[in-house]
């Protein structure tokens, strides 16, 4: 199959276009393929799932924006944002829309150290028995509102967000390589949240952390409550 043929098949399969060399004589064919594909019924309709996840992402970006004014003002703004968002999507206030302690802009200019996620209306939520997280172990947790990875190093438990800092994709644990991989753009983070590699044309921020503690043989994460609970 010709190169342009492969690009067209990729487009029809709904896959991302990667860097590829195509004969400029084929540009008109490619344009026509795009035109025909976008004439399909419903082609230009955006998925609600995408709209919601991007909204969470933007909320988090804005929450980390600029120099922090007085804490009270910040807090009120976040509560308001979270409330508006919760009303518009019904369920699932993600931690991504909540406060990142301190300043720093995650995507545009990553802070040198990961920030800790601190929801303003949160609670300590039990995630798993301490015995399920042995020394050196990494476990995913999913509380509905937030998702992340727990790890135990030198006896201490810590956690990072399970959502890529570029695009709101869920990270996957590669147990062998001991790293967190993003299936969307082949980015990879260490289990501590540091950026290991990516092929993106932007700077990528490290994964924010969660506050974690162990109480009565259970690992607990400080996370937002489910709306309505």
- Shortest Cβ 92–another protein spacing (Å): 15
Q: Interface with another protein includes 36 (CB under 8 A)?
A: yes
- Shortest Cβ 209–another protein spacing (Å): 22
Segment lying near another protein (by CB under 8 A), choices 11-19, 123-131, 132-140, 141-149 = 11-19
Residue 90 backbone class (left: φ over 0; alpha: ψ -120 to 50; beta: rest): left
Alpha helices in the chain (DSSP H): 3-12, 27-37, 48-63, 71-89
Q: Interface with another protein includes 28 (CB under 8 A)?
A: yes
- Shortest Cβ 183–another protein spacing (Å): 11
Residue 7 DSSP SS3:
helix
Segment lying near another protein (by CB under 8 A), choices 60-68, 124-132, 149-157, 207-215 = 60-68
Residue 66 backbone class (left: φ over 0; alpha: ψ -120 to 50; beta: rest): left
Q: Interface with another protein includes 54 (CB under 8 A)?
A: yes
Residue with tokens 């042995």: 134
Q: Interface with another protein includes 88 (CB under 8 A)?
A: yes
Q: Interface with another protein includes 165 (CB under 8 A)?
A: no
How many residues appear in the chain? 229
Q: Interface with another protein includes 86 (CB under 8 A)?
A: no
Q: What is the DSSP letter of 25?
A: G
* DSSP output for 140-172: EEE-SS-EEEEEEETTEEEEEESB-SSSSPBPE
Query: Which residues of this chain interact with another protein, rule CB under 8 A?
Result: 1-2, 5, 7-12, 14-22, 24, 27-41, 43-47, 50-51, 54-55, 57-59, 61-62, 65, 81, 84-85, 88, 107-108, 167, 184, 201
């Amino acid at each position: 199959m010709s190169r342009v043929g492969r690009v067209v098949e990729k487009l029809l399969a709904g896959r991302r276009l990667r860097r590829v060399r195509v004969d400029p004589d084929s540009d008109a064919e490619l344009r026509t393929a795009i035109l025909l594909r976008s004439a399909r019924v419903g082609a230009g309709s955006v998925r609600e799932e995408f709209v919601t996840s991007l909204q969470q992402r933007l909320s988090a970006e804005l929450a980390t924006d600029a120099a922090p004014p007085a804490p009270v003002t910040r807090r009120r703004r976040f509560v308001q944002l979270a409330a508006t968002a919760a009303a518009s999507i019904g369920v699932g206030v993600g931690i991504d829309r909540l406060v990142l302690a301190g300043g720093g802009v995650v995507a545009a200019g990553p802070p040198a150290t990961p920030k800790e996620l601190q929801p303003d209306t949160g609670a300590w939520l039990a995630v798993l028995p301490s015995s399920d997280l042995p020394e050196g172990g990494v476990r995913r947790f999913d509380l509905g509102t937030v998702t992340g990875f727990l790890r135990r190093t030198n006896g201490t438990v810590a956690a990072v967000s399970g959502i890529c800092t570029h695009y709101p994709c869920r990270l996957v644990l590669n147990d062998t390589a001991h790293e967190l991989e993003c299936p969307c753009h082949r980015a990879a983070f260490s289990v501590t949240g540091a950026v290991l590699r990516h092929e993106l044309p932007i700077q990528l921020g490290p994964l924010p952390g969660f506050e974690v503690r162990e109480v009565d043989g259970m690992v607990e994460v400080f996370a937002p409550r489910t709306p309505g609970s």
